Chains A and B, each alone.
Chain A
């Protein structure tokens, strides 16, 4: 929809130009990633946007220590990565499932960005799930020209609340090689076949142990870590406990009741545990 109060549309085409604009960002001037959320609800507080699409950031950069995903990479581009191009990194196979967990169509995914998905911080944000299970680190540009890094999950403060300070830009996500070398499993519950995620759980098992990310069923992600695959009882107890503590309990919105979300989270945690080799 038209953003009727927006009067300026800045489109920096290099990093310096963006850096120069960062201090002007604030409540009434915001970053435009793909715009698939910004243009989907009225934004009467906005007077201007700063478009990231002209910066030409390399979508994916692979190196020995892992994969760096630019914030402007689209969900479709990420989901279309062919796992066979990265034989050493089995976890790449989870990109597609995560990208397709967005309830938006492929037409949305072709425009929506990884950075926008993370910064919007919806409980059902599948890029947060991906980042959580793969221990992704965010690189953030500060308005004063410096940068900082932080675990991506720490950027999620609550439903539609991120932990970025005014003027900060999410530049990229780094997925470490150790996580990418792991095997992964993904499960999604929703009220309809291709619906909004009510519970989106991702697990990984690799050289650094077993990790389970519980998302969408909680206001913010819970990440459970084990040296090796836990027992069914231990995992269930931890998932149930996360539901009591993380973000104030099982999430409640029109996409599923809290009790059902809890049950689906427990069910999927166990399915993922077994898929990744857990017994007993």
Chain B
């Protein structure tokens, strides 16, 4: 040992535990710039420098750091080599959870890596789930993309308000900041069976262990049925779930929760819980589930479509006649395409896993700090499950480290809250990455059969889908995902004869849930693939087929029902789809990487177009309050920031409306105490719903400020302008902001009417028929986002969605074995796209102004994901002549297709 251990230059005089890793040792001593995305060496969020060398601190034995100089993102030396300002200037993050590890990794690398291959290697151990890496490449290269200036109005690339803190690891996430005294930890015992009845739980040995404070089981927790899925109306989702059940319906389901004074005690307790099971028949295949024994028998009041047949939700309806449409196409010499496509089980895998911390405040109120997108909805349901009035529960968030829909659920708060109520102590539960991969909801795997027919000119005469969606063990988002998935995907096309047959079924596999795109990506993979085959048969260019077949203003939105029977609030706020098609087609034709040479490489192009409603149906509420206090504007809004950029956009909107500088605006969100209602940050609503509420609140305040000043100055309000320093009259006299303190404005939005947004993705790929390798040579994405409030941020949302689409298309799949056990349990086995996997995507925006959204904007966060997988599939088809029908299109599967087609080996 050479001297004392230092962390960021400050001696740390403490002895780590023998089995402790450097990550937790640092965090235990307040160094929260060290994050945890996996705890297993895969993600890099925990990267620190030990005597100048970058290491994954989660793998590094803390004992070995004795005497070393440890540097975290908070303590990197400032100066020309400091990567942190570059990450801020390039907006090299969204949720920012990966950023502290990115900057420490970059700091240890000698200069910016020269070529993309070297860069891919340099960032091999750093995952970012949000950005798609382009902005990170810009940061490494020192390219600034945010506007440095003070303007910050709508249309400027204003940096995120938290940027400076994020790049230093100083922005608190759910588990950062000082731990409450007496904090206890919760560890869950999980089912080793895909389906079983618990016949006995013996907790005596566990309770007797030192440090074990309580053991929760189905015997001592509320038996009330609820849904982990959360929506504005709790009736949207089936009540089929218990906090802890006496029947387990998937391998990995919670069976008991052990609360310990520390994690070691809780884990020891969990190992000591004895559970006897009576195995029940496992139902692992959605295809046979409807004929299998019922999984939720008897839950007749749970809003399950047909519990006896394991059907959670069903939709069987149409307009016109498919048979007639098919006959019409045939008679006219057109074409008919039928086919079946399958999608994989994909994990949202936000870098911050689910987790929450509960405690009782001084007034005895239950407080839960959670990594959630929906604090208000969680509060309401938590109160219901606990049998308490909602006012007795407060739910809040810190910055959320990514969600992508997966945090529109109540997955942890019920247990931490109960544990706190039982023990009287603050309790936290931070899911491990393995728990996240094996027991938190995934994208619904779907089987999508498509029939599409058209006349020779591309006029569609029949469009039918038959969808089977695998809900997994619990219904949660399954009805919504199924209805949504089958809606805009069908409504995008004009066709007189349409039919949807869709069912979501229970299986005894890990539950499916909400994930970016909410079902559209799966259904659109089928429909857009079928349309590609149709274009081929008709001899039409696929862009041209879309131009002829898509809806246009004046058309009703018809998915499978006559709008007269199903009136809805969807409208063309603007229509940038033709422009998106033109932009993408033109961009695809230019640039791109050269095709690899060799007899086994084939090159092809593909595209897909998609539509999405800008707001979820049936209500989405937001409320905002803006108050002027000592020259600063304090904005209170319910929505949490989870990397979707709403904090930036809301700041910009308020600043614009108030003629203020962004730095005068202070945002307080993600707290049930902030405002009265908020549905939450999902369905891409952060800009259009919450943003509208902020805009209205800010405008109301601006009006009040002008009125007050006008009265003081004795002029008409219309003659007053509001600026960063105060309200100025036409004659130049001014009332300072400081003299107007106390003024406030309120605004709200109910989520209706709703507009539609469009996305077109196009790629050129090279396929190696000998190995199955698919290389993306060119990737372009055109989006109709209306007026783009923050171009850099919106581009980032598109790129992030595209990267997730590439993951779904080529790499990611949660796999189960024959017993229903997940085999992809760590991120080494579940491949999230890394830097080297994601090509640069050129992002183009249609020039439209939405009549419904704030400042003419539309939402743009879920939808860019949707067209990516079918575009890549269509390009593979174009290149190699083989039609991929299953996601992900991994190399071994593409190779297999090439073998079936007898292509060169």
Binding site for B on A (CB under 8 A): 1-9, 11, 32, 34-36, 39-41, 44, 46, 48-49, 51, 53, 100, 103-108, 110-111, 189, 191-196, 198, 253-257, 259-261, 263-264, 267
15 contacting pairs across A/B (C-beta < 8 A): A3-B21, A6-B17, A8-B18, A9-B63, A46-B19, A104-B124, A104-B125, A189-B891, A192-B810, A193-B837, A194-B837, A254-B824, A260-B895, A261-B892, A263-B899
Q: Which residue of B lies closest to A267 (CB)?
A: B770
Q: Which residue of A lies closest to B270 (CB)?
A: A44
Contact present for B905 and A257 (CB under 8 Å)? no
CB of B162 within 8 Å of the partner chain: no
Contacts of B891 in A (CB 8 A): 189, 191, 256, 260
Contacts of A44 in B (CB 8 A): 267, 271
Contacts of A48 in B (CB 8 A): 18
Contact present for B40 and A1 (CB under 8 Å)? yes
Q: Which of A5, A40, A198 contacts B41 (CB 8 A)?
A: A40
- Smallest beta-carbon distance B721→chain A, Å: 55
Q: How far is the CA of A195 from the CA of B267 in the complex (A)?
A: 32
- Smallest beta-carbon distance A264→chain B, Å: 7
- Smallest beta-carbon distance A115→chain B, Å: 16
Which of B621-629, B828-836, B865-873 is found at the contact surface with chain A? B828-836
- Smallest beta-carbon distance A82→chain B, Å: 17
Q: Which residue of A lies closest to B770 (CB)?
A: A267
Contact present for B61 and A259 (CB under 8 Å)? no
Contact present for A51 and B63 (CB under 8 Å)? yes
Contact present for B826 and A257 (CB under 8 Å)? no
Interface size (B, Cβ < 8 Å)? 60
Q: How far is the CA of A136 from the CA of B24 in the complex (A)?
A: 39
Known: A254-B829, A259-B896. A107 touches B19 (CB 8 A): no
CB of B263 within 8 Å of the partner chain: yes
Contacts of B58 in A (CB 8 A): 1, 39-40
CB of B54 within 8 Å of the partner chain: yes
Q: How far is the CA of A104 from the CA of B59 in the complex (A)?
A: 12
Contacts of B267 in A (CB 8 A): 4-5, 44
Contact present for A192 and B831 (CB under 8 Å)? yes
Q: How far is the CA of A277 from the CA of B690 in the complex (A)?
A: 67
Contact present for B18 and A111 (CB under 8 Å)? no
Q: How far is the CA of A32 from the CA of B63 in the complex (A)?
A: 12
- Mask: chain B, 827-853; 1 = CB below 8 Å from A; 0 = not: 011110010110000000000000000
Contacts of B23 in A (CB 8 A): 1
CB of B647 within 8 Å of the partner chain: no
- Smallest beta-carbon distance B86→chain A, Å: 20
Residue among A105, A192, A256 with the highest chain B CB neighbour number at 10 A: A105
Contact present for A106 and B121 (CB under 8 Å)? yes
Contact present for B61 and A32 (CB under 8 Å)? yes
Contact present for A189 and B40 (CB under 8 Å)? no
Contacts of A110 in B (CB 8 A): 53-55
Contact present for A51 and B61 (CB under 8 Å)? yes
Q: For residues 15 through 54 of chain B, which have their beta carbon under 8 Å from a beta carbon of chain A?
A: 17-21, 23-24, 39-41, 44, 47, 53-54
Contact present for A189 and B64 (CB under 8 Å)? no
Contact present for A111 and B836 (CB under 8 Å)? no
Q: How far is the CA of A263 from the CA of B264 in the complex (A)?
A: 46
Contact present for B19 and A9 (CB under 8 Å)? yes
Contacts of A8 in B (CB 8 A): 18
- Mask: chain B, 180-198; 1 = CB below 8 Å from A; 0 = not: 0000000000000000000
- Smallest beta-carbon distance A122→chain B, Å: 10
Contact present for B61 and A35 (CB under 8 Å)? yes
Contacts of A36 in B (CB 8 A): 41, 56, 59
Binding site for A on B (CB under 8 A): 17-21, 23-24, 39-41, 44, 47, 53-56, 58-61, 63-64, 105, 120-122, 124-126, 263-264, 267-268, 271, 432, 770-772, 810-811, 813, 815, 823-824, 826, 828-831, 834, 836-837, 890-893, 895-896, 899, 905
Known: A2-B17, A192-B837, A263-B905. A111 touches B124 (CB 8 A): no
Given contacts A192-B836, A194-B834, 13 further A-B pairs with CB under 8 A are A1-B58, A5-B19, A7-B18, A8-B18, A51-B61, A192-B834, A192-B837, A194-B124, A259-B892, A260-B891, A263-B899, A267-B771, A267-B905
Q: How far is the CA of A51 from the CA of B826 in the complex (A)?
A: 25
Contact present for B828 and A103 (CB under 8 Å)? yes
- Smallest beta-carbon distance B401→chain A, Å: 18
- Smallest beta-carbon distance B6→chain A, Å: 20
Q: Which of B771, B830, B905 contacts A189 (CB 8 A)?
A: B771
Q: Which residue of A lies closest to B813 (CB)?
A: A254
Contacts of A100 in B (CB 8 A): 121
Contact present for A40 and B826 (CB under 8 Å)? yes
Contact present for A254 and B125 (CB under 8 Å)? no
Q: Which of A40, A194, A196 contacts B59 (CB 8 A)?
A: A40
Q: How far is the CA of A35 from the CA of B56 in the complex (A)?
A: 11
Contacts of A53 in B (CB 8 A): 64
- Smallest beta-carbon distance A117→chain B, Å: 14
- Smallest beta-carbon distance A106→chain B, Å: 7
Residue among A39, A191, A196 with the highest chain B CB neighbour number at 10 A: A39
Contact present for A194 and B836 (CB under 8 Å)? yes
- Smallest beta-carbon distance A171→chain B, Å: 21
Q: How far is the CA of A8 from the CA of B23 in the complex (A)?
A: 19
Contacts of A257 in B (CB 8 A): 892-893, 896
Q: How far is the CA of A71 from the CA of B826 in the complex (A)?
A: 27
**CB-based closest 10 A-B pairs:** A105-B125, A6-B19, A3-B19, A260-B892, A9-B18, A4-B264, A1-B39, A105-B124, A40-B40, A257-B892
Contact present for B47 and A191 (CB under 8 Å)? no
Contact present for A107 and B892 (CB under 8 Å)? no
Contacts of B268 in A (CB 8 A): 4-5
Contacts of B105 in A (CB 8 A): 107
- Smallest beta-carbon distance A26→chain B, Å: 17
Residue among A3, A34, A198, A260 with the highest chain B CB neighbour number at 10 A: A260
Contact present for B41 and A104 (CB under 8 Å)? yes
Q: How far is the CA of A44 from the CA of B63 in the complex (A)?
A: 19
Q: Which residue of A lies closest to B893 (CB)?
A: A257
Q: How far is the CA of A11 from the CA of B56 in the complex (A)?
A: 21
Contact present for A4 and B19 (CB under 8 Å)? yes
Known: A104-B41, A257-B892, A260-B895. A111 touches B19 (CB 8 A): no
Contact present for B896 and A107 (CB under 8 Å)? no
Contacts of B837 in A (CB 8 A): 192-194
Q: How far is the CA of A2 from the CA of B262 in the complex (A)?
A: 12
Contact present for A111 and B125 (CB under 8 Å)? no
Contacts of B64 in A (CB 8 A): 51, 53
Q: How far is the CA of A7 from the CA of B902 in the complex (A)?
A: 59
Q: Which residue of A lies closest to B263 (CB)?
A: A4
Contacts of A4 in B (CB 8 A): 19, 263-264, 267-268
Q: How far is the CA of A250 from the CA of B19 in the complex (A)?
A: 37
- Smallest beta-carbon distance B592→chain A, Å: 18
- Smallest beta-carbon distance A86→chain B, Å: 24
Contacts of B831 in A (CB 8 A): 191-192, 195
Known: A2-B263, A4-B264, A105-B44. A254 touches B823 (CB 8 A): yes
Q: Which residue of B lies closest to A100 (CB)?
A: B121
